[in-house]
Amino acid sequence: MSQSLLSAEGIHLNYGPIKVLKDVTLTLEEGERHVIIGPNGAGKTTLFKVLSGELRPTAGQILLEGDDVSRTTGFHRVRRGVGRSFQVARVFLEMTALDNVAVAAEARHAYEGVRPGLWRISATRRVMDEAAELLSVLGLDALRDTPASMLSHGDRKRLELAMSLALRPRILMLDEPTAGMSPTDRAAAVHLIDRIMRDNGISLILTEHDMGVVFQLGTRLSVLNYGELVVSGTPEEVRQNPMVREIYLGRNAYA
Q: Is residue 45 close enough to count as binding Mg ion by CB under 5 A?
A: yes
The Cα 37–Cα 241 span in angstroms is: 14
208-215 CB contacts, 8 Å cutoff, 24+ apart:
208/35, 208/37, 208/176, 208/177, 208/178, 209/37, 209/176, 209/179, 210/178, 210/186, 211/249, 211/253, 212/186, 213/177, 213/178, 213/186, 214/35, 214/37, 215/239
Tell me which amino acid residue 203 is.
S
Helix (H) or strand (E) holding 7: strand 6-15
Give me the 64-103 binding string for ligand ATP, x by CB under 6 A, dash otherwise. Answer: -----------------------x----------------
Give me the 73-102 binding string for Mg ion, x by CB under 5 A, dash otherwise. Answer: --------------x---------------
CB of 48 to ligand ATP, least distance (A): 8
| Candidate ranges 40-48, 96-104, 188-196, 214-222; the one touching ligand ATP (CB under 6 A) | 40-48
The SS3 call for residue 154 is: helix
111 binds, among Mg ion, ligand ATP, none (CB under 5 to 8 A by kind): none
Nearer to Mg ion, 140 or 189 (CB): 189
Beta bridge partners of 34: 205, 220
46 binds, among ligand ATP, Mg ion, none (CB under 5 to 8 A by kind): ligand ATP
Nearer to Mg ion, 44 or 220 (CB): 44
The Cα 222–Cα 182 span in angstroms is: 26
Q: Is residue 38 close enough to count as binding ligand ATP by CB under 6 A?
A: yes
42 binds, among Mg ion, ligand ATP, none (CB under 5 to 8 A by kind): ligand ATP
Q: Which of 5, 28, 45, 177 binds ligand ATP (CB under 6 A)?
A: 45
Beta bridge partners of 84: 173
Residues that bind ligand ATP (CB under 6 A): 15, 18, 20, 38, 40-46, 87
